[in-house]
């Protein structure tokens, strides 16, 4: 008989799950978010399923792989699925890890010419333009975390270059069953290839070398372990002693057939979300790192606002956007949205972080001030009248029609109030407020800590060349790819 981990210390847990409820915990903090993944990996007894768009060869990527390797050593069966947009930098590592009998790794929708990818872009654009944008970790088919974060330093405030602001959600209960089903569909998809097929199978010597490499990194970062232990303790308090929020929740996802262009309408995430969340009647708050509403989406948001529904949108400013070309196809809709009463905010490219990050405390290192404060929005969540979506889906054509996405819809006034309060308290600190002047021109209002308000008459911190390029690119007929 298999032993079970007691994930939540709530005497009503079994009853709540029988009633179709899910325990949820939103994770806007990078520290808690990495700790939650560590918690799942370290406490899993039988199986771990992980699915990611990006898994980088950096401190976070290596930390997670080492944790998975240690879990495999104690008998946990691990399935790791990574999209091939991730590139080939991890190939040697994945090849070595694949030698472990408890670690199985697959690559989704691989490039045919993996080391000469421009050839695929020329001859196989339709195939490789569809990517698995999913982010998901599941432990023992019982508890999971999803959201916007990939596995890389910048998603967890551990990068020397810049930091992403993001949102995840930890969930336990009824909705996890569907997350497992979705993972299995992707894992068994014709587009999922084993590392043995693409890279080759590692040797015992390679596996031993990678273990020694990770052990050396672990000894080098001894403070990391103690800090992670304290994070585990804190998360355990949240999970076992904090009043757990139970709610009706729905795990939503695109079918893997979408990556082949063959998914039916009911198999698409946005169709599922619209069906569950319904049409807004009071308010809609939308946070999307990459926001390309298109003409149709703009008309929809404008109509909501004109019907007296409060619509508030947060996306990246031009300089904050790490995919600047996307901004070209968003900027052309700004005036229309503002003219129709939609509240529009753009994330600042620099946010002062006065305190040391968890990574700095953990390793004793110092992130350069420029890299520490350089910021970009990466979160994807929205709420409509007491229902909240948190996941990987951006409000753009790429998420709607090209990439596969996942997320959790939670029916909870409490969670929606948490999201609204979070935005109310921090929006003016982290974002510019956009308004129109009497001549119909956009003004960016920057609210300083001392109460001073600075008006910008063009995209803040941008150069003339950046603005010219943004405008020039917007004339290209490629909005459908954004």
* Residues listed for the chain: 482
**What DSSP designation does 350 have?**
B
Are 69 and 100 a contacting pair, CB within 8 Å?
A: yes
364 burial (CB, 10 Å; 0-12 / 13-18 / 19+) is exposed
Residues 6+ apart with CB under 8 A from 13: 23, 173
What are the φ and ψ backbone dihedral angles of 290, each rounded to 5 degrees? -115, 105
Residues 172-187: b if buried by 16+ CB within 10 A, e if exposed: bbbbbeebbebbebbb
| Residue tagged active-site, from 211, 335, 385, 435 | 385
Catalytic residue from among 130, 135, 227, 255? 135
Which tokens go with 338? 């503002």
- Token digits of residue 179: 């997350």
The yes-or-no answer on residue 236 being catalytic is no
Active site (annotated) includes residue 437: no
3-state secondary structure (DSSP) of residue 472: helix
- The answer to whether the CB of 45 falls within 8 A of the CB of 3 is yes
262 an active-site residue? no
Catalytic residue among 49, 140, 166, 396: 140
Which DSSP letter does residue 421 get? H
Task: Give catalytic status of residue 39 as yes or no.
Answer: no
385 included as an active-site residue: yes
Beta carbons of 111 and 12 less than 8 angstroms apart: no
Cα 466 to Cα 474: distance, rounded to the nearest angstrom: 12
Beta-bridged to residue 136, according to DSSP, are: 51, 146
* Tokens coding 408: 């959790």
Instruction: Give catalytic status of residue 378 as yes or no.
Output: yes
Rounded Cα–Cα distance for residues 423 and 427 (Å): 5
Tokens found for residue 443:
């003004």
Choosing from 227, 327, 380, 387, the catalytic residue is 380
CB atoms within 10 A of CB 162: 18
Q: Are 111 and 103 contacting, i.e. CB atoms less than 8 angstroms apart?
A: no
Catalytic residue among 133, 227, 348, 387: 133
Q: Which residues pair with 82 in a beta bridge?
A: 52, 107
Active site residues: 133, 135, 140, 378, 380, 385
């Amino acid at each position: 008989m298999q032993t079970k981990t007691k994930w939540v210390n709530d005497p009503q847990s079994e009853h709540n799950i029988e009633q179709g409820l899910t325990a949820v915990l939103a994770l806007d903090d990078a520290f808690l978010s990495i700790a939650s993944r560590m918690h799942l990996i370290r406490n899993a007894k039988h199986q771990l399923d992980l699915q990611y768009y990006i898994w980088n060869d950096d401190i976070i990527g290596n930390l997670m792989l080492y944790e998975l390797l240690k879990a495999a050593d104690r008998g946990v069966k691990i399935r790791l699925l990574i999209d091939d947009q991730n590139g080939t930098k991890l190939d040697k590592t994945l090849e070595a890890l694949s030698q472990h009998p408890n670690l199985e790794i697959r690559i989704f929708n691989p490039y045919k010419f993996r080391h000469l990818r421009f050839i695929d872009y020329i001859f196989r654009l339709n195939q490789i333009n569809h990517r698995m944008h999913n982010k998901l970790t599941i432990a023992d088919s019982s508890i999971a975390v999803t959201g916007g974060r990939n596995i890389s330093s910048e998603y967890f405030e551990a990068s020397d270059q810049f930091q992403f602001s993001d949102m995840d959600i930890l969930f336990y209960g009824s909705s996890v069953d569907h997350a497992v089903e979705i993972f299995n569909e992707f894992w068994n998809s014709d587009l999922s290839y084993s590392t043995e097929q693409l890279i080759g199978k590692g040797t015992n010597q390679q596996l031993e070398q990678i273990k020694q490499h990770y052990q050396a990194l672990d000894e080098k970062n001894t403070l990391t372990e103690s800090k992670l232990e304290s994070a585990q303790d804190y998360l355990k308090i949240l999970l076992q002693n904090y009043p757990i929020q139970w709610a009706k929740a729905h795990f939503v996802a695109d079918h893997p057939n979408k990556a082949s262009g063959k998914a039916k309408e009911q198999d698409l995430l946005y169709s599922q979300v619209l069906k569950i969340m319904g049409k807004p009647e009071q308010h809609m708050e939308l946070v999307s790192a990459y926001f390309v509403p298109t003409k149709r989406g703009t008309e929809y948001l404008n109509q909501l606002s004109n019907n007296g529904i409060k619509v508030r949108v947060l996306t990246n400013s031009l300089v904050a956007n790490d995919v600047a070309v996307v901004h070209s196809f968003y900027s052309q809709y700004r005036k229309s949205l503002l003219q129709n009463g939609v509240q529009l905010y753009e994330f600042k490219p620099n946010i002062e972080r006065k305190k040391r990050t968890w990574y700095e405390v953990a390793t004793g290192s110092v992130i350069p001030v420029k890299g520490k404060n350089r910021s970009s929005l990466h979160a994807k969540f929205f709420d409509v009248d007491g229902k909240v979506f948190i996941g990987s889906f951006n409000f753009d054509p790429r998420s709607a029609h090209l990439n596969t996405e996942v997320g959790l819809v939670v029916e909870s006034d409490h969670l929606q109030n948490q999201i609204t309060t979070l935005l109310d308290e921090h929006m003016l600190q982290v974002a510019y407020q956009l308004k129109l002047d009497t001549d119909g021109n956009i003004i960016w209002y920057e609210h300083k800590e001392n109460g001073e308000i600075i008006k910008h008459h063009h995209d803040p911190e941008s150069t003339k060349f950046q603005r010219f390029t943004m405008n020039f690119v917007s004339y290209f007929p490629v909005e459908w790819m954004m």
